[in-house]
Amino acid sequence: MSTRTGKRAVSRAATPDQPPAKRRAEDQKAPQQQPDNHFEVQTTIKKHYDFDWIHTVSGFVKLKQHHDVTATHFGTGASLPPDASAMTPRNASEDPEGLEGSKLEDSDLEDSDDMEDSDVKDSDDMEEFGEDSDSAPGKDAIGGCYALLMRPNRAIFYDDMEQLSVETSALAFELFDRYGRLKPEFKEQGVKSGSGIWKHELDIGRILLLEDIRIGKSFRRQGWAKKLVAAMLQATRAKCKTFVALTRPGVIYRDYGTLKGSLTDAESDRFCAEELRVTEVFWRSVGFRRIGSSQWFGLASTVNHACHTLPASEDYDLPKIPGLPCYPAAGSLLADIATLKDAEAADKVRQVFRDAPIPTPPPRDSAMDSLFVAIETERDEECVEKLKLALDHLPVDDPRYEARDSDGNTVLHAAAINFKPKAVKWIMEKNALLVGKRNVEQEIPIEALQNRLEFHRTISGSSYLTVIEPASDKFKGFSTEMVDCLCILGGRSNVSEIDFQRLTCGCTCGQCMDGFLSPRMRYAVLCQAEMNYDMMFAENGYMEGSDWVELNDTRLVHVPDPVRENMRTNKSMREGHTNLYNHIATCLKSDKVPNTFNVLEALRNASEWPPVTRNFLERGGNVPSVGSMVFELALIQDELAGDGQHMEVFKDDIEVLPECRNDHEFGFVSGMCGYKRVSNIRKVSTFGSPMSSE
Which residues are within 8 A (CB) of 546 and not within 5 positions of it... i.e. 6 or more apart?
568
Give the pLDDT score at 218.
74
Mean pLDDT of the chain: 81
Domains of the chain: 1-30 (no CATH), 36-355 (no CATH), 366-493 (1.25.40.20), 519-672 (no CATH)
Give the pLDDT score at 261.
80
Reported confidence tier of residue 253, pLDDT bands at 50, 70, 90: low
Give the pLDDT score at 36.
58
| pTM: predicted TM-score of the whole model, two decimal places | 0.79
Give the pLDDT score at 81.
31
Give the pLDDT score at 102.
30
Give the pLDDT score at 111.
34
Distance CA 157, CA 170 (A): 12
Distance CA 499, CA 194 (A): 32
Q: Quick check: 326 pLDDT over 60? A: yes
Helix, strand, coil abundance in the chain, percent, nearest 5? 50, 10, 45
Cα separations (Å) of 556 from 571, 576, 681?
15, 13, 19
pLDDT of 516-536, one tens digit each? 999 999 999 999 999 999 999
Burial class (CB in 10 A: 0-12, 13-18, 19+), 614: middle
Give the pLDDT score at 186.
94
The stretch 459-476 carries a mean pLDDT of 64
Q: Quick check: 246 pLDDT over 80? A: yes
Tell me, what DSSP letter sits at residue 680? Answer: S
Name the residue with higher pLDDT: 74 or 563: 563
Give the pLDDT score at 237.
93
Cβ contact 174:296 at 8 Å = yes
Give the range among 23-27, 211-215, 277-281 with minimum mean pLDDT.
23-27
pLDDT of 486-518, one tens digit each? 999 999 989 999 999 999 999 999 999 999 999
Distance CA 435, CA 250 (A): 31
pLDDT of 166-197, one tens digit each? 889 889 999 999 999 999 999 987 889 999 99
Give the pLDDT score at 357.
79
Distance CA 448, CA 517 (A): 26
